Amino acid sequence: MTATAPIAGDLADVTASNATLRRFLHGLPGVDQVGVEARAAALATRSIKTTAKQFALDLAVRMVDLTTLEGQDTPGKVRALCAKGLRPDPTDPTCPQVAAICVYGDLVPVAVDALGDSGVHVAAVATAFPSGRAPLEVKLADVRAAVDAGADEIDMVIDRGAFLAGRYLDVYDEIVATRQACGDAHLKVILETGELATYDNVRRASWLAMLAGGDFVKTSTGKVSPAATLPVTLVMLEAVRDFRAHTGREVGVKAAGGIRSAKDAIRYLVVVNETCGDDWLSPDRFRFGASSLLNDLLMQRQKMTTGRYSGPDYFTLD
Amino acid sequence: MSDRSERLAVRKTYKLYVGGAFPRSESGRTYEVRAADGRFLANAALASRKDARDAVVAARKAFGGWSSATAYNRGQVLYRVAEVLEGRRAQFVAETADAEGVTAGKAERQVDAAIDRWVWYAGWSDKVHQVHGSSNPVAGPYFDFSVPEPTGVVAIVAPAESLLGLVSVVAPAIVTGNTCVVVAAEAAPLPAITLSEVLATSDLPGGVVNLLTGRAAEIAPWLASHMDVNAVDLAGVTDADLATELERSAADNLKRVVRPPLGEPDWAADPGLDRMLALLETKTVWHPVGI
Amino acid sequence: MGTGMFDYAPAPESRAIVDIAPSYGLFIGGEMVDPTDGTRFKTVNPATEEVLSEVVAAGPQDVDRAVAAARAAYDGTWSRLPGRERGKYLYRLARLVQERSRELAVLESIDNGKPIRESRDVDVPLVAAHFFYYAGWADKLGYAGFGPDPRPLGVAGQVIPWNFPLLMLAWKIAPALATGNTVVLKPAETTPLTALAFADICRQADLPPGVVNIVTGAGDTGRALVEHPGVDKVAFTGSTDVGRQIARSVAGTRKKLTLELGGKAANIVFDDAPLDQAVEGIVNGIFFNQGHVCCAGSRLLAQESIADELLDRLKRRLGTLRLGDPLDKNTDIGAINSPEQLERIRELSAVGEQEGAERWSPACDLPDRGYWFPPTLFTGVTQAHRIAREEIFGPVLSVLTFRTPAEALEKANNTPYGLSAGVWTDKGSRILWMAQRLRAGVVWANTFNRFDPTSPFGGYKESGFGREGGRHGLEGYLDV
C-alpha cells in the first residue's frame, strides 16, 4: 500500500457534522471535465482482439446484472429472464452465467425460486427506486422486504435532492441506515450521475457512499439520461482505487444504463483494467447493469468461434 | 424501322426544404414558375405562414448543435457543400440559364462564382474569431477578451440573382453557426431548391438551412414579426415600403436587421465581412489575474 | 508495464497499405528526378533496424536545381494565380491527405518509430487541418491585419526535424503556399518517407510543377539550402545549436528567418490541481511521442505539499504504459528515432544519476532489435542539475519541487529556453497570473501538448522566433 498524503486525518471525524463532511468532500482533488473525457476517449481506442477479446467477452457476460425494471413486469417475465441468465446462449453450453438478475423488490421471490442454488445472485432495487423520494421509514421497509424475500444484493438510490442541496450528512445517514437494513445482503449505492451533473459531484458522492459502507457504487438507475458513460465510470473507478489506498477496503463499481454493445462493454473493461487493475476484473468488483447488452455479447462470442457475423434470430428474446 | 420519337423527360417536383426534409406546403398550394422565355418550368410550392412557422422551429432546433460544432467542422461541412455543388455544375448552369434568361456562358460564370463564393465563406469559419475577436488590455488586473458568437435564427429574403445572390446571403449566415429560414427569389426559386438538395446531401445537419419558395410579401412579414427569430436580412426586398414595414415589425423583439442594398447590388463583387459580422454578437469576458 | 489477467493480444496495423519503393529520387519541378551531385543513403525503421529504402543526400547542384525550379514556378505561375485559386490547390492537398490518411499514418510510424495510434489520431489529422486552415487564408490576406494587399516573399527554403515529419512539413508548406510563396523543403535525414509521399500527393493534386520541391539529405543539404542566395525566406525547426548557425548565416542578407528550436518546458502542478488529469498531462507532456517534442513538459515542478502523492499516482500510471511495436494499435511508447538520439538520451540519463538525482522507470521489456528507452523519471532534481537545464529530447522527466507561485514562476523562467509551459490548478486567476508572467510562447493550463492550426505556436528566447499557426503564422511568409 503506497503512502498517500493525508486527505483527512481520521476518516471517522470526517462524518462528525455536515460541515466537516462537506470540507472533506470538497477537499478531494477536482476533476477536469475535458481532461477526464479525453482520458476516457483515449482508453476507448484500445484495440482488443483475438484472445484478449475472448477473455473480455466471457468476463463481461459474467459481470452482467440482467435487468428488468418495468411497471409491467410479471412473474412470467422474471422467470424468462432468470432462465436466460442461467443459460444465456441456447447453442453454447460453455457460455458462462450472468452475475445476477436485477428486479423490483416485489418480484424477488420469483427470482429466488427460479435461480435456486445456481450461484446467480438476486439483486433488488429498493428505497423508492428510481426517484428515492419517500420517507426514510418507507425506503427502509422496502429494503427489509426484499432482503427477507431472499435478495442477495440491494441496489439503493441516494437522495439526490439532499446531495445537490449540500445536505451531505443526510445522504450519508440514509446510506448507513440502508446498509444496516441489508444485513448480509450487499449494498450497491446508485449515485444517479446524470442528475449529479458534474464529475466533481460524482467523485464526492462516490466517497460519501464508500464512507457510509456501500459495497458497490453504481452509476445510474437507467431511468434518467445520461446514464453510465465511460468518463463517469472512470471517475468512480479512480475513487474506489483511492479509497482502497486510503482504507484498505475494496468497493466495487457498477455501470448501468446505456451500455448496449459488446464494444462498449469491452471499453469499460479496458478502463477498469488500466485504472484499477486485476483486483477489479471480477464480478465481485465490477458489474454491468444491462438488458440488451447480453445478446450483443453473445453475438460477438459466436462470431469469435464461428468466424461469421450472426443475426438476432439466433439469440433469445425474453 | 428505327424509333425516332423523342424520349420523355422525367420531370422534377420542387418542394420546400425544412428540417432536412422536402415537404410540400401545408397549404397544398403551388405557383407556376416560368423560364424567362415564358416556358413552363415547374409548379413550385407556395409557402404559407405555417410553413414559415415550422421552418423557424426547425431552425431553432438545429441551432444548438450547429453553433456548438467546432469551427473546423463547420468549415469542413461548407467545403463539402462546395464539392457537391461542383459535381452538379451542369445542372445548376442549366437551371440558372432558364431561371434568369441568360446565355449558357453567363450562367457558367455565375455558377462558378457561386461555387467559389461558397468556398470563400467556408474558409472563414475558423478565422472570423481571429479577425473580429480580441483580448482587450483593460486598465486593471483582469484578463479581458471578446469573442464573436452567432446570433441565432436568421430570416433571409434572398435576392433575385437566383444562385450567386442566394449563396451570398446564406453562406455568411451559417458559417459562423447561425441557422436560417430563407425565402427564395419569387420568380426564380428552382436553383434554390436544387441548392437545398446539395445541402441535404452534404453533411449539413437538417434545420440549419430551411428554404421556402413563394411570395416574399406574404411570408416575410410573418418572419419579421416572429419573436423567436433573432435577425432578418432583407437583401431581396425591392419594395421600399415593404422593407420599412418589415424593419418596423422586427423592432418588436429588437432583431438585428440587414437592410436591402441601395440600388442594383453587384453580387460578384468582394463581399467583405459585413454580412458575417452583422449576424454576430460579441461576448466580452473579464477574469481577475492573481495568485 | 507487466501483463495482468487482461492481456491485450497483439493488434497490429497492417503494413500492406504502404508501398515503399526501393529507392527515391528528388522531387524537383513536379517530377521525381535523379540527383546531379547527390549521393545515396539508407533510411531505416527504428523499431526493427530494417532498411526501408534508399534516398538521396542532395548535393549543392541538386539544391540549386530545386531553388531554380521554385523560382521559375513562382515567377511563371504561382505569383500570378489569384489567391482564390491557390486556396483551391491547398484544399485539394488537404483532401488528398484525408483520403490517404491511413497510408500516411502507417508510413510515418514505420519511418519515425512513433505509435500508430499517435500518427493516426494526432499527426495526420492535424496535417489535413493545417492545409484546410491555410487554404482558407489564401484569398483573404487583405483581412489578416497586414495591410490591404500583403505580398509573398518568393522562394522559401524550409528544413524540418524528424519528430513529427509530416506535421512539420504541413506547418511549413501550408502557410508558405497560402501566402503565395513556392518552397524547397528538406525533410530530416532519418524521416524522409512521408515527405516523399507528399510529393506524390502534390502530383495527384495537379499542383503546378516547382511550387513544392522536396530535397532529401542531412546537415550538408540543409546548409546548402538555407545558404542558397536564391532563397528569400528561411524557416527552420530543429535544435537551438543549428538554429544559431542559421541565424549567423543569414546575417547581412535580406532573407527573412523564422526559427522553432528546443525547449525545456516546466509543467507546474499546484496543490489544488485536478490530480488525475494532471498526471495525464504530465504523461502526455513528456512521454507522448517518446518525448521527442520540442515543447515537451520535461521539467515537472510539483508543489511540495502534494509532490509525494503526485509522484505515487504518476508512477502507478507509468506502469500502465505499453512500450513496443509502433504498428501495434495498443502501443503507447514507440521507438527512439535513431541510434544517435538513443545515445544522447542514455548519456544524459547517466549524467542525471551521477549528479545525484534518483532514477526510476517502470518495469519494461525492451525489444531485442531497434532503438528503445523506457519512460524514466528523475526525482530530487534541482535547477543546478544538467538534466534540468539541457534538452534531452527523450522520455525522461526531471522532477523538481516548489513552495509558492512566485518560486514556481522563477524556476520555470530560469532557462535560456522559452517554448512552452504547463500550469495545473483549479484556480482561474492563478492560471492567468502564471500565464501572464511565464516567458514561454505557449502556455497550456490544465492540459498539455494541444495543437491546432488556428493557434499560434512558437518560442521566446533561445527557443526561436516567429509563430506557426493562426493568423500570426502568415506573417513569416509575407513581405511585411
Domain limits of chain A? 11-305
pLDDT > 50? residue A8:
no
pLDDT > 60? residue A193:
yes
pLDDT of residue C243: 97
C-alpha cell belonging to residue B148: 464573436
CB contact under 8 A, C470 and B288: no
| SS3 assignment, position C389 | helix
Transcribe B8-65 into DSSP letters: PP-PPPB--BBTTB-PPPTT--EEEEE-TTS-EEEEEE---HHHHHHHHHHHHHHHHH
Instruction: Please state the ipTM of this predicted complex.
Output: 0.93
CB contact under 8 A, A29 and C275: yes
C-chain residues within 8 Å CB-CB of B291? 405-406, 429-430, 433
Instruction: Please report the sign of the dihedral spanned by the C-alpha atoms of residue A194, residue A195, residue A197, residue A200.
Output: negative
pLDDT of residue B36: 87
**Is it true that C26-261+461-475 and C266-445 share their CATH fold?**
no
* Catalytic position from the list A84, A218, A242, A264: A218
A57 touches chain C (CB under 8 A): no
Interface test with C, best of B70, B72, B270 (most C CBs within 10 A): B72
Buried b / exposed e over A166-189, threshold 16 CB at 10 Å, is ebbbbbbbbbebbbebbeebbbbb
Nearest to B130 among C138, C430, C470 (CB): C470
Contact A146, A181 (CB under 8 A): no
C-alpha cell belonging to residue B101: 434568361
pLDDT of residue C354: 96
Tell me the mean pLDDT in the region A228-252: 97
* Catalytic position from the list C118, C260, C391, C462: C260
Rounded to a whole number, what is the distance in Å from the CA of C139 to chain B's nearest CA?
7
pLDDT tens-digit map of C371-402: 999 999 999 999 999 999 999 999 999 999 99
Q: Say which DSSP state A23 is in.
A: H
CB contact under 8 A, A3 and C312: yes
pLDDT of residue C370: 97
Has A254 been annotated as catalytic? yes
| Separation CA A210–CA A217 (nearest Å) | 8
| Separation CA B131–CA B119 (nearest Å) | 18
pLDDT > 60? residue A3:
no
Q: How confident is the model at residue A2 (pLDDT cuts 50, 70, 90)?
A: very low
A271 touches chain C (CB under 8 A): no
pLDDT of residue A1: 32
How many other C-beta atoms lie within 10 A of the C-beta of residue C87?
Answer: 25
CB contact under 8 A, A55 and C5: yes
Has A155 been annotated as catalytic? yes
| Separation CA C463–CA C413 (nearest Å) | 12
C-chain residues within 8 Å CB-CB of A31? 274, 276-277
pLDDT tens-digit map of A274-296: 999 999 999 999 999 999 999 99
pLDDT of residue C253: 97
Give me the residue label for grid cell 445520461: A226
A-chain residues within 8 Å CB-CB of C275? 29
Contact C46, C190 (CB under 8 A): yes
pLDDT of residue C2: 53
CA-CA distances (angstroms) from residue C63 to A155, C207, C246, C249, C451? 73, 20, 17, 17, 32
C-chain residues within 8 Å CB-CB of A281? 4-6
pLDDT of residue B12: 85
How many other C-beta atoms lie within 10 A of the C-beta of residue C94?
Answer: 26
Q: Where are the domains of chain C?
A: 26-261+461-475, 266-445
Interface test with C, best of B78, B85, B291 (most C CBs within 10 A): B291
What is the topology classification, in CATH, of domain A11-305?
TIM Barrel (3.20.20)
In chain A, whose CA is at the least distance from the CA of C316? Answer: A275
pLDDT > 50? residue A6:
no
| B/A touch flag: 3 or more CB pairs below 8 Å | no
| Superfamily classification of domain C26-261+461-475 | Aldehyde Dehydrogenase; Chain A, domain 1 (3.40.605.10)
Interface test with C, best of B130, B203, B276 (most C CBs within 10 A): B130
How many other C-beta atoms lie within 10 A of the C-beta of residue A283?
Answer: 21
Q: What count of CB pairs under 8 Å joins A to C?
A: 83
Nearest to A238 among C8, C276, C320 (CB): C276
Cis peptide bond N-terminal to C175, omega within 30:
no
Which 225-284 residues of chain C touch chain A by CB within 8 A? 272-277, 280-281
A202 touches chain C (CB under 8 A): no
| Beta-bridge partner residues of A66 | A101, A290
| Beta-bridge partner residues of B155 | B181, B232
In chain C, whose CA is at the least distance from the CA of A50? Answer: C9
pLDDT of residue B166: 97
pLDDT > 60? residue C199:
yes
pLDDT > 90? residue C66:
yes
Contact A143, A156 (CB under 8 A): yes
CA-CA distances (angstroms) from residue A123 to A240, A250, A290, B170? 21, 20, 13, 57
| Separation CA C184–CA C170 (nearest Å) | 13
| Percent above pLDDT 70 for chain A | 97
| SS3 assignment, position A217 | strand
CA-CA distances (angstroms) from residue C217 to C60, C192, C232? 11, 8, 21
Least Cα distance to C375 among C300, C453, C459 occurs for C300
Least Cα distance to A301 among A253, A266, A274, A273 occurs for A266
Mean pLDDT by 10 residues, chain B (291 residues): 77 94 97 92 96 98 98 98 97 93 94 97 98 96 97 97 94 98 95 97 98 97 98 97 98 97 91 96 96 93
Pairing of strands C212-214, C266-269: unpaired
Cis peptide bond N-terminal to B172, omega within 30:
no
pLDDT tens-digit map of A81-119: 999 999 999 889 999 999 999 999 999 999 999 999 999
User: Domains along chain B?
Assistant: 30-263+272-288 (3.40.605.10)
Interface test with C, best of A274, A279, A281 (most C CBs within 10 A): A274
pLDDT > 70? residue C1:
no
Contact C265, C440 (CB under 8 A): yes
In chain C, whose CA is at the least distance from the CA of A60? Answer: C6
Q: How confident is the model at residue A313 (pLDDT cuts 50, 70, 90)?
A: confident
Alpha helices in A100-259 (DSSP H): 108-115, 136-148, 160-164, 168-182, 193-196, 199-211, 230-247
Non-local CB neighbours of A120 within 8 Å, separated by 6+ positions? A82, A85, A86, A97, A98, A99, A100, A101
Which residue type sits at A151? A
C-alpha cell belonging to residue A141: 421497509
C458 touches chain A (CB under 8 A): no
CA dihedral (C218, C219, C224, C228) in degrees, to 10, reads: 110
| B/C touch flag: 3 or more CB pairs below 8 Å | yes
Non-local CB neighbours of B38 within 8 Å, separated by 6+ positions? none
| Separation CA C190–CA C192 (nearest Å) | 6
Q: Which partners does chain B have (≥3 C-beta pairs < 8 Å)?
A: C
C3 touches chain A (CB under 8 A): no
Give me the residue label for grid cell 521489456: C365
Least Cα distance to B129 among B149, B108, B143, B156 occurs for B149
pLDDT tens-digit map of C275-297: 999 999 999 999 999 999 899 99
Rounded to a whole number, what is the distance in Å from the CA of B253 to chain C's nearest CA?
33
A306 touches chain C (CB under 8 A): no
| Superfamily classification of domain C266-445 | Aldehyde Dehydrogenase; Chain A, domain 2 (3.40.309.10)
| Separation CA B188–CA C451 (nearest Å) | 46
